[in-house]
Amino acid sequence: SRAVPAADLLPDALDALHATFGFTAFRGVQEHVVSRVLSGQSTLAVMPTGAGKSLTYQLPAVMLEGTCVVVSPLIALMHDQLRSATANGIRAATLTSADTDREVTIDRFREGELDLLYVAPERASQPHFRELLSKARVSLFAIDEAHCVSEWGHDFRPDYRLLRPLLDAFPEVPRLALTATADHHTRADILAQLGIAENGLIVAGFDRPNIRYAIRPRENAARQLKALLEENSGPGIIYAPTRARVEQLAETLAATGRRVLPYHAGLSPEVRARNQAAFVASEDMVMVATVAFGMGIDKPDVRFVAHAGIPKSIEGYYQETGRAGRDGDPSIAVMFWGADDFARARIRLSEVEERRQQSERQRLDALAGLVETAQCRRAVLLRHFGEEPAPTCDNCDNCLEPPGVADVTELARKLLSAVYRTGQSYGLGHLEKVLAGIADDRVLQRGHDQLSVFGIMTEDEKPLLKPLSRALQARGSLLPTEHGGLALGGDAREILKGEASVPIVLPPKQERKRRGGGSS
Ligand code: ADP
Ligand code: ZN
């Protein structure tokens, strides 16, 4: 239900918008959020990156009497915000352990000379901060990156939980929680944790229609990325899972003659700053980076974002690919994934705290669903964020070149029973030999030529074994063992008993081969 805006405030808000930021209009849900805040209603705004979240508290901060207290999780982020607020003539300051002028800031705050005061959650939750607030006038609490308050969120920070007593100590001060990424669970949790009414939820559209999504199996990452670079001349970001992989890919790709630089947390701050500045200024450079790169970078003309391995979650995928095409021009997001990515992620899963395992597993399953789907990628993505999108978009790989889907339940049962009968410790290479009936030394030594599964795979099934194994690993029916073997997991037993089916998406190349083969 849309709140009735305080009617006399909106013209003032437009004036202030123009006077402070030089903008002539609100974008999307900004107006709705600002009008709620101005009329004192607590709100959770879920707005994708680039949608203009900061304005929704900075504008009220300028308009309302008193100071808007902004809770933000990272000092670097705070300083970015501080810079841009100050550049717009907003009276702002940060209160962190890194600041040497804390006394000055505290005085300004008490004297009512600040529109914005940025603090970290660990400071905000301290009793003497509460005391300080009671001696000043607070207009608004803005809680940035609010998903940090939820264990369902992808970036839980316990300090965020300690904010509630502070907020409750000032019941007349409205709360504005902001986040770019929150699925249904996380949204409900943020509302509950921060004491915001359910009808205070405002969700902006997540669609980025100018981004073309594609998700492909990884065959040879370097070769696939080189091809991508040949087809795309504009600036691009390639995300790789580890520092070593970043270095390696950057070196390989630089050999193509394209300007390519690495970025990861292992580089010195000077090198990182230099590489980032070069990227922001460039019109054709490629940055190979870990996820450490991208937060707070203002480069609207990034033409492609590639993932050389799977991201952490759909939220991460959306955030990282969202760095492409902020200028609205056609851009590309392509992911090259491998079964080993999911294998590693599922091993890590067993190492996280038990109470978080369920949500982490759901996150991984959702990502596997996106990777393995034959449906429109955009539709899957937007449904994940609670929207009801059109079933097709004409701007993703699956819409542009619908993949073939094969029901390979029979082959899946053969593979899973070969895994079981060989003792759940061999890799796909060995299993393939057993299923194909190839009696090499190792097969003979272990007596695997004597098993009922020896040689039961048909000629037609052979090319499907690898995509099948990939799909089973993505959905968790096959799990990696410590020594590089495969073991049963997830719904493997249901598949074996014929209670679950296994459709797989055929990669376009395989699909062409199959169609070609079928028609001859
Ligand atoms: P977010 O924090 O949601 O990622 P930002 O607050 O950084 O987004 O805003 C993204 C960009 O959009 C900034 O460059 C900002 O100046 C611009 N912007 C925000 N609101 C408007 C508006 N109403 N009109 C024009 N540009 C805007
Ligand atoms: Zn689509």
ipTM field: 0.96
- Is residue 226 within 8 Å of 308, Cβ to Cβ? no
Q: Which of 17-26, 85-94, 257-266 has the lowest mean pLDDT?
A: 17-26
Predicted confidence (pLDDT) per residue in 205-246, tens digit: 889 999 999 999 999 999 999 999 999 999 999 999 999 999
Pocket lining: 47 vs ligand 1, CB cutoff 6 Å: yes
Pocket lining: 290 vs ligand 1, CB cutoff 6 Å: no
For a mutational test of ligand 1's pocket, the pick from 21, 59, 86, 326, i.e. the residue with the most ligand atoms closer than 8 A to its C-beta, is 21
Mutual angle of helices 314-321 and 354-372, in 10-degree steps? 60
The neighbouring-strand residues paired with 261 are: 287
pLDDT at 357: 84
Please give the full DSSP string across 116-165, using - where no structure is assigned: EEEE-HHHHTSHHHHHHHHTS-EEEEEETTGGGG-TTSSS--HHHHTTHH
Pocket lining: 50 vs ligand 1, CB cutoff 6 Å: yes
Distance CA 4, CA 119 (A): 31
Two structure tokens written together for 504: 């797989």
Ligand closest to Cα of 215 equals 2
Residue nearest to atom 23 of ligand 1 (CA): 26
Ligand closest to Cα of 23 equals 1
Positive or negative CA dihedral for 51, 57, 59, 60? Answer: positive
Could you tell me which of 147, 146, 182 has the C-alpha nearest to residue 70?
Answer: 146
7: confidence class by pLDDT, cuts 50, 70, 90 = low
Neighbours of 480 (CB within 10 A): 20
Residue nearest to atom 16 of ligand 1 (CA): 52
Pocket lining: 30 vs ligand 1, CB cutoff 6 Å: yes
Distance 273 CA to ligand 2 centre (A): 37
For a mutational test of ligand 1's pocket, the pick from 18, 30, 54, i.e. the residue with the most ligand atoms closer than 8 A to its C-beta, is 54
Predicted confidence (pLDDT) per residue in 312-338, tens digit: 989 889 989 999 998 889 999 999 999
pLDDT at 509: 62
Pocket lining: 13 vs ligand 1, CB cutoff 6 Å: no
Burial of 281 (0-12, 13-18, 19+ CB in 10 A): exposed
Pocket lining: 321 vs ligand 1, CB cutoff 6 Å: no
pLDDT at 508: 65
Two structure tokens written together for 131: 């005391």
Predicted confidence (pLDDT) per residue in 460-493, tens digit: 999 999 999 989 998 889 998 878 899 999 999 9
Distance CA 9, CA 20 (A): 16
